[in-house]
Chains A and B, each alone.
Chain A
Amino acid sequence: MSNNKSFLIVNRKAPYGSAFAKEALDVGLIAAAFGQQLTMLFMDDGVYQLLKQQDPKDINQKNSSQTLPMLELYDVKDIYVEAASLQVRNLQTEDLLIPVQVIDSHAAAKLMDQQDILLNF
């Protein structure tokens, strides 16, 4: 039996209003550091985690968006965003901090089907 599993982290919450965004990223980086096959999916308000120009120092929080480029350093290349979630928020990929692959809901469902482990934040 292999110790290498495929993980999908589903990010559905906006940053700063709760700790979900930060914790999802922490778990993702740990999984990647242990050589697991990690995919990140951002949908619903989770797409707001990727917005450029975040600056939470006046609300005394750490800028979790600054950690996003770490994913690339950890060789996490499978970062997906659901198109419908972007569209309903009037966002485009140019508004996002890191390169992502935009997929439709059908493709997102397939992505979930392919995984050994699903983690939801």
Chain B
Amino acid sequence: MILHTVNKSPLQNNSLDSCLRLAQPDCGILLMEDGVYAAAGTQNNLLTEQVLSLHKVYALIPDLKARGLLERVTPGIELVDYDGFVALTEEFDTVQSWY
């Protein structure tokens, strides 16, 4: 199973778009750096309820906090700190970075 990491804003390039196109059910998707803007919900939101029911989606707390987004996270997205990030890389077999 793959952990996908996305570190670009969904409105800046197509990293999240491509990730979701290839992501298999039950894989993990971790939003980090500017990728966390996707967790705050935009119009034409890519992280729909359907996507969130299909994949486990995580967002990195320090990056949310830096950008003023901690209180704007879409329900259903799990928050992780740096230790949680490390645990995820252990839990999944490989990491695919979309940047």
Contact = CB atoms under 8 A, between A and B. Distances in A.
Contact of B67 (A44, A48, A87, A88): A48
A55 B42 contact: no
B68 A51 contact: yes
Interface residues of A, number: 22
Interface size class of B (residues with CB under 8 A): 20 to 34
B83 to A, nearest CB: 12
Interface of B: 7-9, 11-12, 33-34, 37, 40-44, 61-63, 65-71
A3 interface: no
Interface of A: 13-17, 44-45, 48, 51-56, 58-59, 61, 65, 87-90
22 contacts: A14-B9, A14-B67, A15-B67, A16-B63, A17-B9, A45-B12, A48-B9, A48-B67, A51-B69, A55-B65, A56-B65, A56-B67, A58-B61, A58-B66, A59-B62, A59-B66, A61-B66, A88-B42, A89-B11, A89-B43, A90-B42, A90-B43
